[in-house]
Structure 1
Amino acid sequence: MFDLHRLRLLRELKHRGTLAAVAAALSYSPSSVSQQLSQLETEVGVRLLEPVGRRVRLTEQAEILVAHTEAVLERLGRAEADIAASLTDLTGTLRIASFQTTALTLVPTALDLLRDQYPHLRVHVTHMEPETALPALQARDFDLVLAEEYPGNPYPRPAELEQEDLLEDPLHLGLPESAHGADADGPMTTLRSLAGHPWVMEPEGTAARHWAMSLCRNAGFEPDVRFETTDVLLHLRLVEQKHAAAFLPDLVWSRRPPTVTLRRLPRGQRTRRIFTVVRNGSSRHPAIQACRSALLRAATQPSDHAPGQHD
């Protein structure tokens, strides 16, 4: 019988990449992690790690073990969900990762609902972009992640993760006052008229940046990106202060009236999909179900206005 604790360390190494990262995540010393994995190699009777420069990588046999460990952990997750469902009170800690606009708009309302209905459930929320949060979910640092998907830029869907749609969030072209003359014939023409204007976008490597760059290039120009940040509120402020053009989602206004002039985007590019992601086997957990239900209620609350825009 293989030791489950050591198998989990091997799995952690696959997801985190280095012995030092595993040690830091689990509050062990690197030498302790290395010793435990050496003992696992002895138990299994085959080599599990091989050196690559100063690092190590998993052998084919180690990958086989990790796949079985994932199945065992998923089964244990189902057992945990069944135990929680058998109790009359919902307790414990739910760890959520959320990107900025949902953290500002949906999460606080969902927290209100959860506090009222499940006062003994402790909810821990971390502001984190999906590109970082989803691997951390696989590594079991979180229980639920709020993520986004832009038109034409689908997220990979690992077999060990489950997605559930939350809402479609409209996207707009935000114009600074200095670019009001860009009001032209149709969305693509309006977008093309901003070819020489400064832009604010999210950093390289994010799904939002890839989508935004593709949209501008399809309009026939390379945007002059002078400002880069994941802070969408800063995007809005730079448009308000006439420093940049930007692509802005509805949620940035938190159901308040828009503060800048908006234009429609080309067809097929007008909404982003927002969804929740959990590990396989955990979607039956009462805390996960309660959180998803609260987020859905927050997302479907009636809006007091519809952002103004023109074709």
Structure 2
Amino acid sequence: MLDVHRLRVFRSVVASGSVQAAAANLGYTPSAVSQHLTALQRETGLTLLARAGRGLRPTAAGHALAAEADRVLARVGAAESLIADLRTGRTGALSVAYFASVGAAWMPLVVRRILTELPGVRLDLQLREHIPDSREERADVQVVVADTGFDPGSGFTAQHIVDDPYVAVLPAGHPLAGHDEVDLAELAEERWVDNDFARGWCRAKLLEACTAAGFSPAFRVEAHDYRTALAFVAAGIGLTVLPALGAAHLPEGVTVVRAVRPMPIRSIHVVVHDAVEHTPAVRTTVAALHEAADGARHVR
């Protein structure tokens, strides 16, 4: 088994360029650093460093181990930080991932509640549109869009938060602007502004509904995000159709009409890492997400 302390010494030598410089940076003697390097190379059975003038340079094997050591030491650092938090009675760290429209509409309320009720918690907020394949890269809590009943993966549990229906956002002077709702088919010949550069699940759900209504929208302008698309609508360039949550903060000069027959709907879920689901920080976060979703539902 590799010695973590020797990995730290090795990374210092790679970063510093020589045994002497690493010794000075670490507060060790050059002899102690050399002993750690010798022991690490004996453990691995690899030549990790080679002479380069008065200093050292990593071999190909040394470069590979240095890159992996960075990941290992980062995880060790996170564990040491958690232990320090637990010893001092702090709540600990919590990572929360979310997609863009949730970030604008819900996360300020969620974060305020977490920090009000648990002022000692350290929050790591991550903007993510998809669930990472690697378990190590996944957040403690992630808000996602997915079909009801989807499998969040081993070691994780999903809870349904809310169904988010789509709305048509029209320029204020549009003939349909005063309506409560509009059939998707009535928008078939309109100038459409796209709002999903990622071409993800949300856009696919919209296109599926349009196909069911008998047309494919002709996007005249392709925007990268909801905010930009809404600005184009406000400028009178066309209309856009997006989830209601994405229309939570509207610019002047636009109006919202429910899109129906069929009504596209996306399902929003929260995915929680089972290892931390019992902690106060996670429970507070999940409760705050439900509260934010309920507030948005009442506003609609």
**TM-score of Structure 1 vs Structure 2, range by shorter chain:** 0.5 to 0.7
Structure 1 unmatched ranges of 5 or more: 6-28, 37-76, 307-311
- Decide which of 161, 165, 175 is 2:160's aligned counterpart: 165
What's the C-alpha RMSD, in Å, of the aligned pairs? 4.3
1:199 equivalent to 2:196? Answer: no
Which protein has the larger Cα radius of gyration, Structure 1 or Structure 2? Answer: 2
Name the SS for the 2:295 alignment partner: coil
Cα distance in 1, alignment partners of residues 292 and 198 from structure 2: 31
1:100 equivalent to 2:100? Answer: yes
Q: CA deviation at 1:226?
A: 3.5
2:205 corresponding residue in structure 1: 211
Cα distance in 1, alignment partners of residues 286 and 276 from structure 2: 12
Cα distance in 1, alignment partners of residues 223 and 206 from structure 2: 13
Alpha-carbon contact 1:93-1:121 (below 8 Å) kept: yes
Q: Deviations over 1:145-186 (max 9, x none)?
A: 1112369xx7554334311122222321223357526999x8
Cα distance in 2, alignment partners of residues 150 and 243 from structure 1: 33
Identity, in percent, stands at 20
Cα distance in 1, alignment partners of residues 150 and 141 from structure 2: 16
Q: How many residues align?
A: 235
Cα distance in 1, alignment partners of residues 125 and 173 from structure 2: 39
Alpha-carbon contact 2:97-2:125 (below 8 Å) kept: yes
Alpha-carbon contact 2:193-2:240 (below 8 Å) kept: yes
Alpha-carbon contact 1:201-1:212 (below 8 Å) kept: no
Name the SS for the 1:293 alignment partner: helix
Name the SS for the 1:215 alignment partner: helix
Q: CA deviation at 1:273?
A: 1.7
1:113 corresponding residue in structure 2: 113
- Decide which of 199, 213, 216 is 1:222's aligned counterpart: 216
| Cα 1:199/1:93, change in 2 over 3 Å | same
Q: Deviations over 1:28-87 (max 9, x none)?
A: x98458669xxxxxxxxxxxxxxxxxxxxxxxxxxxxxxxxxxxxxxxx9xxx9x99x99
Paired letter, 1:110: V
| Cα 1:177/1:114, change in 2 over 3 Å | closer
Alpha-carbon contact 1:175-1:263 (below 8 Å) kept: no
Paired letter, 1:164: Q
Paired letter, 1:293: A
Cα distance in 1, alignment partners of residues 287 and 121 from structure 2: 15
Paired letter, 2:143: L
| Cα 1:158/1:302, change in 2 over 3 Å | closer
2:136 corresponding residue in structure 1: 139
Paired letter, 1:128: R
Structure 2 unmatched ranges of 5 or more: 5-58, 67-78
Alpha-carbon contact 1:166-1:274 (below 8 Å) kept: yes
1:125 corresponding residue in structure 2: 125
| Cα 1:171/1:181, change in 2 over 3 Å | closer
Paired letter, 1:287: A
Name the SS for the 2:132 alignment partner: helix
| Cα 1:281/1:298, change in 2 over 3 Å | same
Alpha-carbon contact 1:90-1:287 (below 8 Å) kept: no
TM-score (structure 1 length as normaliser): 0.60
1:174 equivalent to 2:169? Answer: yes
Q: How does 1:28-107 map to 2 (within 5 A)?
A: 31=61, 89-107=89-107
| Cα 1:195/1:89, change in 2 over 3 Å | farther
2:229 corresponding residue in structure 1: 235
| Cα 1:195/1:33, change in 2 over 3 Å | farther
